[in-house]
Structure 1
Amino acid sequence: MSNSLPKVASLALLAGALLLPAIPASAATATTAAVKADEPFSTFDVTVKAPKKVKAGAKITYTIYATNKGPHYADAWFIGGEFPKGVDLKRIRFGTTVKGTECALDGRAFFCLAPKVVEKGESVAMAFTTKVDKKAKGTLTAKLGVVAYSADQGFENMSKEELDRLGVPVHGFVKTAKTKVVR
């Protein structure tokens, strides 16, 4: 995992964006141009899988499945999220079939840039594995999903800072996964 690329380093700043509420496609009922500009270029249906229970000190795997529901393809998107207190953030490993994926960690936020255009109806998946702290107790709560910019073709190589400077709208599609720590 390489964190040397400037655009990968900027992924960590997306933690706040992931906390944005998902805007459902049915919310497109307004008729003004200003409201239409806020509609997502691509919406994602996200499912997050995590175990219901985990032993303190054991490994835990979170898997994110995301399907682009459109209306357009997505080429400026990130996958990951906010990992719970009680897991080893320095040991997060990821697995995906998308070659060239780069990830970055900032605080409890871990985001990956997958250099792939996701067509409408196409799905992507990524698994994140780490270790639960031996002293962890209670319930681990992760907020994971996809952050997608409403950007047209050619934006896939831009940093978050440049997308923000240009005023490209960002939308978060998040699910919460809760896992009880058992002894």
Structure 2
Amino acid sequence: MRNSLPKAATLALLAGALLIPAVPASATTTVTAAATATKAADPYSAFSVKVKAPKTVKAGGKIKYTIVATNKGPHYADSWFLGGQFPKGVDRNKVRFGTSVKGTQCFAEGDRAFFCFLPQVVEVGDSVAMVFEAPVKKSAKGTQTATLGVVSYNLDTGMEDMSKEELDRLGVPEFGFSKTVKTKIVR
């Protein structure tokens, strides 16, 4: 990140959290009260998200989701993922994606989540778009709900090449910006 002050504050908070177990019991109360008074980190970059999806789709057809994410700042975004939670009636293993960003890498997470890392820095005010095409199972019925958008991380210098799993494992601050869309299955 260009602004190193939030990084320094994050590192100081992390260092303080790591030292707590080594502090004697009498000092733990003071350290805990100070840590509790500290405000949670704000995102380095917040996003405005728009998601488009069809109102209806036939069972066995495809749902086309279009995500447009705009960086609202305060800083440029260099570690973020597009995607989210796909509906139960979608075959997540057959989701296809399209974007103009070269080097995009996508992966499944959990039962229904699907995310893509786009190796692009998004300046404040700039947007990025991605299209997902998800095949609907023939057995799907009712209303299919998807929650899609952006997950961004507050990265410190040297963490740029870490995977989403590693960032989550380390407890790096994560911020979600998403929209929920519904598509009715028709016969």
Shorter chain as normaliser: what TM range? 0.7 to 0.9
TM-score w.r.t. structure 2 length? 0.75
- What's the secondary structure of 1:100's corresponding residue? coil
C-alpha displacement of 1:167: 4.4
Please name the residue that 1:131 is paired with: 135
Q: Would the alpha carbon gap of residues 134 and 116 (structure 1) be closer, same or farther in structure 2, given more than 3 Å must change?
A: same
Once residues 81 and 154 of structure 1 are traced to their aligned partners in structure 2, the CA distance between those partners, rounded to angstroms, is: 26
1:45-87 Cα offsets, whole Å, 9 max, x none, are: 0011000111111111111110000000010101100100111
DSSP-derived class of the 2:103 partner: coil
- Return the match for 2:148 from 136, 144, 151: 144
Deviation at 1:150, TM superposition (A): 1.5
**Which of residues 110, 113, 137 is equivalent to 2:114?**
110
Aligned to 2:126: 122
Q: Aligned match of 2:48 in 38, 45, 50?
A: 45
Q: Which runs of 5+ in 1 are unaligned?
A: 1-31
Identify the match of residue 66 of structure 1 among 66, 69, 77. 69
Q: CA RMSD in A?
A: 1.8
Shift in CA distance, 154/125, structure 1 to aligned 2, threshold 3 Å: farther
CA drift of 1:166 comes to 5.2
What is the TM-score of this pair, normalised by structure 1?
Answer: 0.77
Would the alpha carbon gap of residues 165 and 55 (structure 1) be closer, same or farther in structure 2, given more than 3 Å must change?
A: closer
Larger Rg: 2
Letter in 2 for 1:170: E
The C-alpha deviation readout for 1:155-175, integer Å capped at 9, x for no partner, is 331223543465431100011
| Amino-acid identity (%) | 68
Structure 2 unpaired stretches of 5+: 1-35
Is this contact kept in 2: 1:69–1:120, CA < 8 A? yes
**Greater share of residues in helix:** 2
